[in-house]
Amino acid sequence: VSSLSYKYQGVKNLMPVTINGDGSITGLSVGGLGSGVVNTATLADGAATAVKRGSGSILQVQSTLKTDSSNFTLSGGALSSILFSVNITPSSASNKILIHAHCSVGLHSDSEGQFSMELTKGGSSYTTLAGDAYGSSSRVLAVAYAGEGNQMVYDQQTIAATVMDTGGSTSAITYGIAVRLRDNGSCEGRINRHTAGDQNGWDFMPTSGITVMEIAA
């Protein structure tokens, strides 16, 4: 038997439902299944794709964790190079991107040790997620104080922030983290260690990283 066809009698203009030989059903309209016929347990794994999940659902998570240490240079109040980054490709331009970043930095300078953590997007400083403009102040994501003068040689701080962005496209987005020194002096820095090296075991090796999550709008 290639197919079976059923039709309710006594009801006009009702289309028949056909169970085909290959297991498919023809003539079944949206909402044609009774309440409770389809539930979570009957869905195949992965059947509910990102576009079918409700507002507020986490659609994907991307993360970069930096566990090694490396040096960088700060000069003239300029932003450092990007210290670490992560890529994410939103499934919808209207979806939100939740960003959490933490950066453990040691500085070595005779200038004041206040420094900023700044977010980059597409390789450039992203002030959309920074403090409001105020005089000549730099607009940054977050700040920390790592000591002053020679004290900074043995000091390090971890600075963290969590913010929400809008994807804005369905192309790949690169979010990165960089830092900036407060004044116009120059400074040698090291991520995940202070700059004095191993002090007879009295040293710490923390991590730095960034995690991004796409949230359904």
Residue-wise pLDDT tens digits, 196-205? 666 555 578 8
Q: In this predicted model, which residue has the larger pLDDT, 1 or 36?
A: 36
pLDDT confidence tier of residue 183, bands split at 50, 70 and 90: low
Give 82's strand partners: none
For 196: left if phi > 0, alpha if psi spans -120 to 50, otherwise beta; the answer is: alpha
Q: Write down the pTM of the prediction.
A: 0.76
The Cα–Cα gap between 102 and 86 comes to: 13
Predicted confidence (pLDDT) per residue in 120-163, tens digit = 999 999 999 999 999 988 899 998 875 565 555 567 788 999 99
> Most distant CA pair in the chain: distance in Å?
93
Give 61's strand partners: 213
The Cα–Cα gap between 90 and 171 comes to: 7
The Cα–Cα gap between 102 and 119 comes to: 11
Cα dihedral 24, 30, 36, 37, rounded to 10, equals -10
